[in-house]
Structure 1
Amino acid sequence: MTTDTIEAPRSARPASRSSNLEKWGWIYMRASGVVLVVLVFGHLFINLLAAEGGIKAIDFAFVAGKWASPFWQVYDTLLLWLALIHGSNGMRTIVNDYVSKPLVRRVLLGALLVSAVVLLTLGTLVIYTFDPCPAGAPADLLPSICS
Protein backbone atom coordinates (compact mmCIF):
# COMPACT_ATOMS: atom_id res chain seq x y z
CA MET A 1 0.00 0.00 0.00
CA THR A 2 1.51 3.32 -1.08
CA THR A 3 0.63 6.70 0.20
CA ASP A 4 0.61 9.45 -2.36
CA THR A 5 1.11 12.99 -1.33
CA ILE A 6 -1.00 15.76 -2.70
CA GLU A 7 0.74 18.90 -3.75
CA ALA A 8 -0.09 22.04 -1.85
CA PRO A 9 -2.49 24.29 -3.75
CA ARG A 10 -1.17 27.51 -5.27
CA SER A 11 -3.23 29.56 -2.84
CA ALA A 12 -1.51 28.01 0.17
CA ARG A 13 0.86 30.94 0.48
CA PRO A 14 1.82 32.28 3.85
CA ALA A 15 -0.66 34.83 5.10
CA SER A 16 0.36 38.26 3.94
CA ARG A 17 -0.88 41.76 4.39
CA SER A 18 -2.67 41.73 1.02
CA SER A 19 -4.68 38.63 1.90
CA ASN A 20 -5.82 40.37 5.06
CA LEU A 21 -6.82 43.39 2.95
CA GLU A 22 -8.83 41.07 0.70
CA LYS A 23 -10.60 39.63 3.74
CA TRP A 24 -11.59 43.11 4.96
CA GLY A 25 -12.69 44.06 1.45
CA TRP A 26 -14.91 40.99 1.35
CA ILE A 27 -16.38 41.78 4.76
CA TYR A 28 -16.94 45.42 3.75
CA MET A 29 -18.84 44.36 0.62
CA ARG A 30 -21.24 42.24 2.64
CA ALA A 31 -21.79 44.76 5.43
CA SER A 32 -22.11 47.78 3.13
CA GLY A 33 -24.45 45.84 0.85
CA VAL A 34 -26.86 45.21 3.72
CA VAL A 35 -26.74 48.84 4.86
CA LEU A 36 -27.10 50.08 1.27
CA VAL A 37 -30.25 48.04 0.73
CA VAL A 38 -31.84 49.75 3.74
CA LEU A 39 -30.61 53.22 2.72
CA VAL A 40 -31.64 52.89 -0.94
CA PHE A 41 -35.12 51.61 -0.17
CA GLY A 42 -35.51 54.32 2.49
CA HIS A 43 -34.39 56.92 -0.06
CA LEU A 44 -36.84 55.62 -2.66
CA PHE A 45 -39.71 55.44 -0.17
CA ILE A 46 -39.18 58.97 1.12
CA ASN A 47 -38.64 60.55 -2.29
CA LEU A 48 -41.21 58.67 -4.35
CA LEU A 49 -43.97 57.45 -2.06
CA ALA A 50 -44.02 59.55 1.09
CA ALA A 51 -43.45 62.87 -0.68
CA GLU A 52 -46.70 64.62 -1.43
CA GLY A 53 -47.15 64.58 -5.20
CA GLY A 54 -44.90 61.57 -5.82
CA ILE A 55 -42.13 61.83 -8.36
CA LYS A 56 -43.54 65.05 -9.80
CA ALA A 57 -42.79 66.79 -6.48
CA ILE A 58 -39.04 66.21 -6.79
CA ASP A 59 -37.49 69.44 -7.99
CA PHE A 60 -34.89 71.96 -6.92
CA ALA A 61 -37.02 73.16 -4.00
CA PHE A 62 -37.57 69.59 -2.76
CA VAL A 63 -33.83 68.90 -2.67
CA ALA A 64 -33.11 72.31 -1.12
CA GLY A 65 -35.68 71.61 1.59
CA LYS A 66 -34.25 68.17 2.30
CA TRP A 67 -30.66 69.38 2.50
CA ALA A 68 -31.64 72.14 4.91
CA SER A 69 -31.88 69.37 7.52
CA PRO A 70 -28.65 67.92 8.98
CA PHE A 71 -30.33 64.50 9.14
CA TRP A 72 -30.77 64.36 5.35
CA GLN A 73 -27.27 65.68 4.75
CA VAL A 74 -25.82 62.85 6.85
CA TYR A 75 -28.22 60.31 5.29
CA ASP A 76 -27.27 61.29 1.73
CA THR A 77 -23.57 61.48 2.62
CA LEU A 78 -23.70 57.97 4.07
CA LEU A 79 -25.51 56.75 0.96
CA LEU A 80 -22.94 58.43 -1.30
CA TRP A 81 -19.89 57.13 0.56
CA LEU A 82 -21.13 53.57 1.02
CA ALA A 83 -22.33 53.24 -2.58
CA LEU A 84 -19.21 54.74 -4.14
CA ILE A 85 -16.76 52.77 -2.02
CA HIS A 86 -18.83 49.60 -2.51
CA GLY A 87 -18.78 50.08 -6.29
CA SER A 88 -15.08 50.99 -6.34
CA ASN A 89 -14.22 47.93 -4.30
CA GLY A 90 -16.20 45.77 -6.72
CA MET A 91 -14.38 47.31 -9.68
CA ARG A 92 -11.05 46.74 -7.88
CA THR A 93 -11.95 43.07 -7.52
CA ILE A 94 -12.82 42.82 -11.23
CA VAL A 95 -9.55 44.50 -12.23
CA ASN A 96 -7.55 42.16 -9.98
CA ASP A 97 -9.36 39.11 -11.38
CA TYR A 98 -9.19 39.90 -15.09
CA VAL A 99 -6.16 42.14 -15.73
CA SER A 100 -3.02 40.03 -15.92
CA LYS A 101 -0.39 42.64 -16.84
CA PRO A 102 0.97 44.30 -13.67
CA LEU A 103 1.49 47.73 -15.24
CA VAL A 104 -2.03 47.87 -16.69
CA ARG A 105 -3.44 46.66 -13.37
CA ARG A 106 -1.58 49.38 -11.48
CA VAL A 107 -2.75 52.08 -13.89
CA LEU A 108 -6.38 50.94 -13.71
CA LEU A 109 -6.33 50.67 -9.92
CA GLY A 110 -4.72 54.10 -9.67
CA ALA A 111 -7.35 55.61 -11.98
CA LEU A 112 -10.06 53.92 -9.95
CA LEU A 113 -8.68 55.32 -6.71
CA VAL A 114 -8.32 58.85 -8.10
CA SER A 115 -11.83 58.84 -9.56
CA ALA A 116 -13.35 57.53 -6.32
CA VAL A 117 -11.57 60.16 -4.22
CA VAL A 118 -12.56 62.97 -6.60
CA LEU A 119 -16.21 61.87 -6.70
CA LEU A 120 -16.38 61.43 -2.92
CA THR A 121 -14.86 64.86 -2.38
CA LEU A 122 -17.09 66.64 -4.89
CA GLY A 123 -20.24 64.84 -3.77
CA THR A 124 -19.60 65.60 -0.12
CA LEU A 125 -18.84 69.25 -0.91
CA VAL A 126 -22.10 69.57 -2.85
CA ILE A 127 -24.13 68.10 0.01
CA TYR A 128 -22.62 70.29 2.74
CA THR A 129 -22.07 73.55 0.85
CA PHE A 130 -25.35 73.56 -1.10
CA ASP A 131 -27.05 76.95 -0.83
CA PRO A 132 -30.22 77.39 -2.90
CA CYS A 133 -30.20 81.17 -2.33
CA PRO A 134 -26.62 82.43 -2.59
CA ALA A 135 -26.05 85.99 -1.44
CA GLY A 136 -25.47 88.49 -4.22
CA ALA A 137 -27.00 86.37 -6.98
CA PRO A 138 -29.26 88.14 -9.49
CA ALA A 139 -32.92 87.76 -8.49
CA ASP A 140 -33.95 86.48 -11.92
CA LEU A 141 -31.56 83.53 -11.57
CA LEU A 142 -32.76 82.47 -8.10
CA PRO A 143 -35.43 79.78 -7.66
CA SER A 144 -38.90 80.72 -6.51
CA ILE A 145 -38.21 79.49 -2.96
CA CYS A 146 -35.81 82.40 -2.40
CA SER A 147 -37.36 85.66 -1.31
Structure 2
Amino acid sequence: MTATATAPARRTRGFNIEKWAWLFMRLSGVVLIVLIFGHLFVNLMVGEGIHGVDFGFVAGKYATPFWQWWDVLMLWLALIHGGNGMRTIVNDYVTHEGARKALVWAIGLAAALLIVLGTLVVFTFDPCNGVLESGVMWETCQAVGN
Protein backbone atom coordinates (compact mmCIF):
# COMPACT_ATOMS: atom_id res chain seq x y z
CA MET A 1 0.00 0.00 0.00
CA THR A 2 1.56 3.26 -1.08
CA ALA A 3 0.63 6.61 0.33
CA THR A 4 0.01 9.29 -2.20
CA ALA A 5 1.71 12.53 -1.42
CA THR A 6 -0.29 15.66 -1.88
CA ALA A 7 1.39 18.67 -3.33
CA PRO A 8 1.56 21.71 -1.07
CA ALA A 9 -0.93 24.44 -1.84
CA ARG A 10 0.41 27.10 -4.14
CA ARG A 11 0.49 30.63 -2.87
CA THR A 12 -0.88 33.20 -5.22
CA ARG A 13 0.87 36.49 -5.47
CA GLY A 14 -0.84 39.83 -5.62
CA PHE A 15 -2.98 42.05 -3.48
CA ASN A 16 -4.76 40.19 -0.68
CA ILE A 17 -7.61 42.39 0.58
CA GLU A 18 -8.45 40.12 3.50
CA LYS A 19 -4.88 40.28 4.80
CA TRP A 20 -4.88 44.08 4.63
CA ALA A 21 -8.34 44.27 6.22
CA TRP A 22 -7.13 42.01 9.06
CA LEU A 23 -4.04 44.17 9.56
CA PHE A 24 -6.11 47.38 9.44
CA MET A 25 -8.43 46.08 12.15
CA ARG A 26 -5.52 45.44 14.51
CA LEU A 27 -3.76 48.75 13.87
CA SER A 28 -6.90 50.90 13.86
CA GLY A 29 -8.07 49.22 17.06
CA VAL A 30 -4.89 50.28 18.87
CA VAL A 31 -5.07 53.83 17.51
CA LEU A 32 -8.79 54.06 18.37
CA ILE A 33 -8.09 53.08 21.98
CA VAL A 34 -5.70 56.04 22.29
CA LEU A 35 -8.05 58.45 20.48
CA ILE A 36 -11.17 57.42 22.41
CA PHE A 37 -9.57 57.44 25.85
CA GLY A 38 -7.92 60.80 25.07
CA HIS A 39 -11.30 62.14 23.99
CA LEU A 40 -12.99 60.83 27.14
CA PHE A 41 -10.24 62.14 29.42
CA VAL A 42 -10.37 65.67 28.01
CA ASN A 43 -14.18 65.80 27.96
CA LEU A 44 -14.86 64.16 31.32
CA MET A 45 -11.84 64.74 33.57
CA VAL A 46 -10.21 68.03 32.61
CA GLY A 47 -11.67 71.32 33.82
CA GLU A 48 -15.20 71.09 35.16
CA GLY A 49 -15.59 67.51 33.97
CA ILE A 50 -18.92 66.39 32.60
CA HIS A 51 -20.60 69.54 33.94
CA GLY A 52 -18.45 71.70 31.66
CA VAL A 53 -19.46 69.95 28.45
CA ASP A 54 -21.91 72.18 26.63
CA PHE A 55 -22.26 73.98 23.31
CA GLY A 56 -19.52 76.46 24.24
CA PHE A 57 -17.14 73.65 25.16
CA VAL A 58 -17.63 71.95 21.79
CA ALA A 59 -17.36 75.29 19.96
CA GLY A 60 -14.09 75.99 21.78
CA LYS A 61 -12.68 72.59 20.88
CA TYR A 62 -13.65 72.90 17.22
CA ALA A 63 -12.03 76.33 17.03
CA THR A 64 -8.61 74.61 17.04
CA PRO A 65 -7.32 72.45 14.18
CA PHE A 66 -5.79 69.95 16.63
CA TRP A 67 -9.19 68.89 18.02
CA GLN A 68 -10.79 69.01 14.59
CA TRP A 69 -8.23 66.55 13.24
CA TRP A 70 -8.38 64.43 16.43
CA ASP A 71 -12.15 64.01 16.09
CA VAL A 72 -12.05 63.49 12.32
CA LEU A 73 -9.38 60.80 12.67
CA MET A 74 -11.44 59.15 15.41
CA LEU A 75 -14.57 59.37 13.25
CA TRP A 76 -12.89 57.95 10.13
CA LEU A 77 -11.15 55.11 11.94
CA ALA A 78 -14.25 54.16 13.93
CA LEU A 79 -16.52 54.09 10.88
CA ILE A 80 -14.06 52.21 8.67
CA HIS A 81 -13.21 49.80 11.52
CA GLY A 82 -16.90 49.18 12.25
CA GLY A 83 -17.83 48.88 8.59
CA ASN A 84 -15.04 46.40 7.99
CA GLY A 85 -16.18 44.36 10.99
CA MET A 86 -19.76 44.34 9.69
CA ARG A 87 -18.48 43.35 6.23
CA THR A 88 -16.64 40.41 7.78
CA ILE A 89 -19.77 39.27 9.64
CA VAL A 90 -21.85 39.51 6.46
CA ASN A 91 -19.24 37.53 4.51
CA ASP A 92 -19.18 34.86 7.23
CA TYR A 93 -22.93 34.38 7.71
CA VAL A 94 -24.83 35.46 4.59
CA THR A 95 -24.86 32.56 2.14
CA HIS A 96 -26.84 34.03 -0.74
CA GLU A 97 -24.40 35.76 -3.09
CA GLY A 98 -26.78 38.54 -4.17
CA ALA A 99 -27.81 39.37 -0.61
CA ARG A 100 -24.17 39.36 0.50
CA LYS A 101 -23.15 41.79 -2.24
CA ALA A 102 -26.12 44.07 -1.53
CA LEU A 103 -25.38 44.15 2.20
CA VAL A 104 -21.67 44.80 1.71
CA TRP A 105 -22.48 47.66 -0.67
CA ALA A 106 -25.05 49.07 1.78
CA ILE A 107 -22.50 48.96 4.62
CA GLY A 108 -19.90 50.69 2.45
CA LEU A 109 -22.31 53.39 1.29
CA ALA A 110 -23.58 54.05 4.83
CA ALA A 111 -20.02 54.32 6.18
CA ALA A 112 -18.99 56.62 3.32
CA LEU A 113 -22.03 58.87 3.78
CA LEU A 114 -21.43 59.15 7.54
CA ILE A 115 -17.74 59.89 6.98
CA VAL A 116 -18.54 62.69 4.52
CA LEU A 117 -21.28 64.21 6.71
CA GLY A 118 -19.24 63.94 9.91
CA THR A 119 -16.18 65.48 8.29
CA LEU A 120 -18.27 68.36 6.94
CA VAL A 121 -19.77 68.99 10.38
CA VAL A 122 -16.36 69.10 12.08
CA PHE A 123 -14.64 71.36 9.54
CA THR A 124 -17.56 73.70 8.81
CA PHE A 125 -18.82 74.04 12.40
CA ASP A 126 -19.63 77.68 13.12
CA PRO A 127 -21.19 78.38 16.52
CA CYS A 128 -22.37 81.80 15.34
CA ASN A 129 -24.25 80.57 12.28
CA GLY A 130 -27.91 81.48 12.69
CA VAL A 131 -27.51 83.29 16.03
CA LEU A 132 -30.24 85.88 16.47
CA GLU A 133 -29.93 89.18 18.28
CA SER A 134 -32.17 87.81 21.03
CA GLY A 135 -29.96 84.72 21.47
CA VAL A 136 -27.54 84.03 24.31
CA MET A 137 -24.53 83.86 21.96
CA TRP A 138 -25.20 87.23 20.29
CA GLU A 139 -22.63 89.25 22.27
CA THR A 140 -19.98 86.55 21.96
CA CYS A 141 -20.43 86.28 18.21
CA GLN A 142 -20.38 90.07 17.83
CA ALA A 143 -17.16 90.25 19.86
CA VAL A 144 -15.35 87.80 17.59
CA GLY A 145 -16.62 89.55 14.47
CA ASN A 146 -18.98 86.95 13.02
TM-score between the two structures when normalised by the length of structure 1: 0.86
Aligned residue in 2 for 1:3: 3
Contact 1:133–1:142, Cα closer than 8 Å, also in 2: no
Write the letter of the residue equivalent to 1:41.
F
Q: Structure 1 residues 13 and 33 mapped into 2: Cα distance closer, same or farther (>3 Å)?
A: same
Counterpart among 108, 114, 119 of residue 119 in structure 1: 114
CA displacement at 1:56 relative to structure 2: 1.1
Contact 1:133–1:143, Cα closer than 8 Å, also in 2: yes
Whether 2:65 is the aligned partner of 1:70: answer: yes
> SS of the counterpart of 1:146?
helix
CA displacement at 1:137 relative to structure 2: 4.0
Alignment: residue pair count: 141
Aligned residue in 1 for 2:93: 98
Structure 1 alignment gaps of length 5 or more = none
CA displacement at 1:139 relative to structure 2: 2.2
For 2:116 and 2:53, locate their aligned partners in 1 and report how far apart those are by CA, in whole Å: 25
Q: Structure 1 residues 102 and 141 mapped into 2: Cα distance closer, same or farther (>3 Å)?
A: farther
Whether 2:76 is the aligned partner of 1:46: answer: no
> SS of the counterpart of 1:111?
helix
Aligned residue in 1 for 2:12: 15
Q: Which runs of 4+ in 1 moved over 4 A?
A: 4-8
Counterpart among 122, 132, 141 of residue 138 in structure 1: 132
Q: Identity of counterpart residues, as a percentage?
A: 55
For 2:136 and 2:69, locate their aligned partners in 1 and report how far apart those are by CA, in whole Å: 26
CA displacement at 1:146 relative to structure 2: 3.1
CA displacement at 1:143 relative to structure 2: 3.4
The C-alpha deviation readout for 1:59-117, integer Å capped at 9, x for no partner, is 11000000000000000000000011000000000000000100000110111011011
> SS of the counterpart of 1:140?
coil
> SS of the counterpart of 2:45?
helix
For 2:84 and 2:21, locate their aligned partners in 1 and report how far apart those are by CA, in whole Å: 7
After superposition, the CA RMSD in angstroms is 2.2
Q: Structure 1 residues 60 and 37 mapped into 2: Cα distance closer, same or farther (>3 Å)?
A: same
